[in-house]
């Protein structure tokens, strides 16, 4: 039987028809906006490698959070730049730490906004690694179990400040279990965990390390973040985090890992986040500035791709622009 040539194109002939039959729909409800918080007052410091992004003092972060919420964005994730760093990242778990103060201020001024906090030490350590460093032969390694204690301590301090969700991101074995146990013991059973379940040692993090002022001072993070070539290992990481009590799973980065997003979506029932990371953002911004790409169409296509692959939640620096474009 022969079919008319236009049998599929009938559903593409107008914007109304295309919208009516659209299979994957991106919503402002899907978006989480990252915020970088630093010491000071009335500070909005540009991040050169991430055009349109800033380091905010706490007062300005609260204003930005209110602006994002007014735009329809339901959640932010906070990263801190402390006034000083040390070998054990003590600013991460200090009761008066930069993120703890920011959480309190944002919760007070924008009470309906969900506040997520990154649980890691890299922004707070003088060496820039995600945990406690110890000598190992002629080199070094990050002490997994010593780091777990500090990650758990960080999560409790952030929960005590008012975080709705904590997000352990150091890629230490057992980090979700350690955080869940200590949160429960401290009476924070209702604080959710968004696990950086499959976080890869990616070249796409470069601009973030400028933004968070957290590049490693020696070595790399390859020994604890994942090899970008490994898909089956990523599934084992996700299985571990689910078993340890994660409430939300995450794949990071997103753009080069949509095969993994699809696989996790097919195999696991928990809500799934992906992180549209700094390098992915910076590439689009740079190409758009040169006139090589239409920024709006490119960003919406990329984020729709994440949704089509199976992501429920998209952490993205494009969040505010996307919220405006989707109106």
Whether the ω angle into residue 327 lies within 30 degrees of 0, i.e. cis, is no
**pLDDT, position 135:** 79
Residue 94 lies in a domain: yes
- pLDDT value at residue 72: 98
Question: pLDDT tens digits, residue range 133-157?
Answer: 987 776 789 999 999 999 999 999 9
Q: Which pLDDT score is estimated for 81? A: 97
End-to-end CA distance of the chain: 44
Total structural domains in the chain?
1
CB atoms within 10 A of CB 293: 17
113 backbone dihedrals φ, ψ, rounded to 5°: -75, 135
Averaged pLDDT of the chain: 95
Rounded Cα–Cα distance for residues 325 and 327 (Å): 6
- Whose CA is closest to 32, among 253, 313, 323, 325? 313
Beta-carbon count within 10 A of 301 CB = 12
Q: Is the pLDDT of residue 219 over 90?
A: no
- Predicted confidence band of residue 30 (pLDDT cuts 50, 70, 90): very high
120 located within any domain: yes
Token pair recorded at residue 233: 């290992």
Residue 6 in any domain: the answer is no
Distance CA 272, CA 312 (A): 5
92 lies in a domain? yes
122: CATH: 3.20.20.70
In this prediction, residue 125 carries a pLDDT of 96
Residue 13 lies in a domain: no
Q: Give the pLDDT confidence score for residue 137 in this predicted structure.
A: 75
Domain that holds residue 308: 26-325
Tell me the whole-structure pTM to 2 decimals.
0.95
Q: How confident is the model at residue 5 (pLDDT cuts 50, 70, 90)?
A: low
| Domain presence at residue 9 | no
- Does residue 17 sit within a domain? no
Question: What does DSSP assign to residue 205?
Answer: G
Structure confidence at residue 324 (pLDDT): 98
How far from 314 is each of 76, 105, 106, 179, 223, CA to CA, in Å? Answer: 11, 24, 21, 23, 27
**What pLDDT shows up at residue 51?**
97
Q: Tokens 């905010």 identify what position?
A: 56
Instruction: Tell me: pLDDT of 325 over 80.
Output: yes
Check residue 8 and give its pLDDT: 82
Question: Is position 1 within any domain?
Answer: no
Cβ-proximal residues to 7 (8 Å cutoff; 6+ apart), any chain: none
Mean pLDDT within 243-272 = 98
pLDDT at 316: 98
pLDDT reading at 207 higher than 70: yes
Which pLDDT score, from 0 to 100, does residue 13 have? 92
Q: What is the DSSP letter of 92?
A: G
**Percent of the chain whose predicted confidence (pLDDT) is above 70:** 98
Structure-model confidence comparison of residues 29 and 223, the more confident one: 29
Give the mean pLDDT of 171-194: 98
What residues are labeled active site?
199, 252
């Amino acid at each position: 039987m022969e079919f008319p040539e236009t049998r599929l194109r009938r559903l593409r002939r107008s914007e109304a028809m295309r919208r009516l039959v659209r299979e994957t729909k991106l919503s402002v409800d899907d978006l989480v906006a990252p915020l970088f918080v630093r010491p000071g007052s009335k500070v909005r410091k540009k991040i050169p490698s991430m055009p349109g992004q800033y380091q905010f003092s706490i007062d300005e972060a609260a204003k930005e959070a209110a602006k994002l919420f007014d735009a329809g964005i339901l959640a932010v994730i906070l990263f801190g730049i402390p006034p000083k760093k040390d070998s054990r990242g003590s600013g991460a778990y200090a009761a008066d730490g930069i993120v703890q103060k920011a959480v309190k201020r944002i919760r007070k001024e924008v009470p309906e906004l969900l506040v997520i906090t990154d649980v890691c030490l890299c922004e707070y350590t003088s060496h820039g690694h995600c945990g406690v460093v110890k000598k190992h032969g002629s080199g070094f390694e990050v002490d997994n179990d010593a780091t777990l204690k500090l990650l758990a301590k960080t999560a409790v301090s952030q929960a005590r400040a008012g975080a709705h969700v904590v997000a352990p991101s150091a890629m230490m074995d057992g980090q979700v279990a350690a955080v869940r146990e200590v949160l429960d013991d401290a009476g924070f059973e209702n604080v959710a965990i968004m696990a950086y379940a499959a976080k890869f040692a990616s070249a796409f993090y470069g601009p973030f390390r400028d933004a968070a002022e957290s590049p490693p001072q020696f070595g790399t993070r390859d020994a604890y973040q994942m090899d970008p070539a490994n898909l089956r290992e990523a599934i084992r990481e996700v299985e571990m985090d689910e078993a340890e009590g994660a409430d939300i799973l995450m794949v990071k980065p997103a753009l080069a890992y949509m095969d993994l997003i699809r696989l996790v979506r097919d195999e696991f029932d928990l809500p799934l986040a992906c992180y549209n990371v700094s390098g992915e953002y910076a590439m689009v911004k740079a190409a758009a500035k040169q006139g090589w790409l239409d920024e709006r169409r490119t960003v919406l296509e990329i984020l729709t791709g994440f949704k089509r692959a199976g992501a429920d939640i998209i952490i993205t620096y494009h969040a505010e622009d996307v919220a405006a474009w989707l109106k």
